[in-house]
């Protein structure tokens, strides 16, 4: 087969969008140029890669196979680029990190400080939900994932780097504010605001409540952590959130941490990546940097977790 890297890059773009127009826009090429490269690729392989019905296209079985090979080739090229960057020193290179939406409350500050020390490093930060995190790990699309609860059914390396305090929050006007050692049984009467089914925050909340033997009343689903905080502030109910997401609201007394028996619950934030993956020098440097820098964040979290318990 006579296949070029340019053809594979174009093929990969089309497989992501399943749309020739969007792929051509991403690649800054004309649509006929993209179509021609795909046609030449199919001629080289001698098997159709796409089925087209009207304007909708989908991968054939051969297309799915080539997609897997294309990803493997892309990963090898990225590793080669990392090796050459390492030869130039960790002041240069590229780093891709994918983080859970709740981790986005503290990761950008760490990232910004790291970039000051190594301004030559090209950085990319992708914030996504749990489904996106698992996909990034499954397809080896990123250098590091930062998340709260690593999946247990994948071959991964998961290294805890910072405690994650989970607290029960309420608006300052709630009757339980100021109460000491609120029994869990009392929370059964409360409405809880939660993320959608399948989200990492929702799964974690359900696990924690199950461990505590708590089954709160029918929850109200919200699409984001910000929506949950605003809903609690408006008096719609209580919520269980990471204290790392609450720094501003607690400082302004817009939300209060309730003193509930068994809380705060301590979990961890993790660096996660595929087992056997060779971390680049830049990724390793960032990981080492975070381990040193998180002491200050832990102190802020401890202060937040203790608010409302005085």
Residue 83 lies in a domain: no
Residue 307 lies in a domain: no
Both 232 and 273 in one domain: the answer is: no
Is this prediction's pTM over 0.75? no
The domain boundary, picked from 35, 69, 103, lies at 69
Both 154 and 212 in one domain: the answer is: no
The backbone region for 7, taken as left when phi is positive above 0, alpha when psi lies in -120 to 50, beta otherwise, is: alpha
CATH number of the domain bearing residue 224: 3.40.190.10
Residue 218 lies in a domain: yes
Rounded CA-CA distance 207/117 in Å is 39
Rounded CA-CA distance 145/151 in Å is 12
Count up the domains in the chain and report the number: 3
Residue whose structure tokens are 């080669």: 80
Residue ranges making up the domain that contains 47 = 5-69
The backbone region for 29, taken as left when phi is positive above 0, alpha when psi lies in -120 to 50, beta otherwise, is: beta
Both 30 and 147 in one domain: the answer is: no
pLDDT class of 281 with cuts at 50, 70, 90: confident
Residue 79 lies in a domain: no
Q: Please say whether the beta carbons of 148 and 207 come within 8 A.
A: no
Report pLDDT digits (tens) over 166-216: 999 999 999 999 999 999 888 888 999 998 877 777 777 788 788 877 777
Of 5, 278, 307, nearest in space to 144 by CA: 278
pLDDT at residue 85, as a whole number: 63
CATH number of the domain bearing residue 49: 1.10.10.10
Report pLDDT digits (tens) over 217-273: 778 999 889 999 999 999 999 999 999 899 999 999 999 999 999 889 888 999 999
């Amino acid at each position: 087969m006579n296949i070029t890297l340019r053809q594979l890059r174009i093929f990969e773009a089309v497989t992501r969008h399943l749309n020739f127009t969007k792929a051509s826009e991403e690649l800054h090429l004309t649509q006929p140029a993209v179509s021609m490269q795909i046609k030449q690729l199919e001629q080289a392989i001698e098997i159709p890669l796409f089925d087209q019905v009207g304007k909708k296209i989908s991968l054939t079985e051969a297309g799915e196979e080539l997609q897997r090979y294309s990803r493997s080739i892309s990963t090898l090229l990225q590793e080669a680029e990392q090796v050459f960057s390492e030869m130039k020193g960790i002041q240069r290179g590229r780093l891709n990190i994918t983080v859970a939406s709740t981790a986005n409350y503290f990761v950008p500050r760490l990232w910004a400080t790291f970039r000051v020390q190594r301004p030559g490093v090209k950085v990319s930060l992708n914030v996504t939900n749990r489904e996106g995190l698992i996909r990034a790990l499954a397809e080896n699309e990123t250098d590091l994932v930062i998340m709260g609860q690593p999946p247990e059914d994948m071959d991964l390396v998961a290294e805890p780097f910072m405690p994650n305090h989970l607290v029960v929050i309420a608006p300052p006007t709630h009757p339980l504010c100021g109460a000491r050692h609120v029994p869990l049984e009392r929370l059964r009467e409360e409405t809880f605001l939660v993320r959608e089914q399948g989200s990492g925050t929702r799964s974690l909340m359900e696990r924690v409540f199950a461990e505590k033997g708590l089954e709160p009343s029918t929850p109200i689903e919200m699409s984001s952590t910000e929506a949950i905080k605003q809903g609690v502030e408006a008096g719609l109910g209580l919520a269980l959130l990471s204290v790392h997401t609450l720094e501003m609201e607690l400082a302004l007394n817009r939300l209060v941490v309730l003193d509930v028996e068994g809380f705060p619950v301590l979990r961890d934030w993790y660096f996660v990546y595929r087992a056997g993956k060779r971390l680049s020098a830049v990724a390793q440097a960032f990981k080492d940097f975070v381990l040193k820098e998180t002491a200050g964040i832990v102190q802020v979290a401890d202060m937040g977790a203790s608010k409302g318990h005085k």
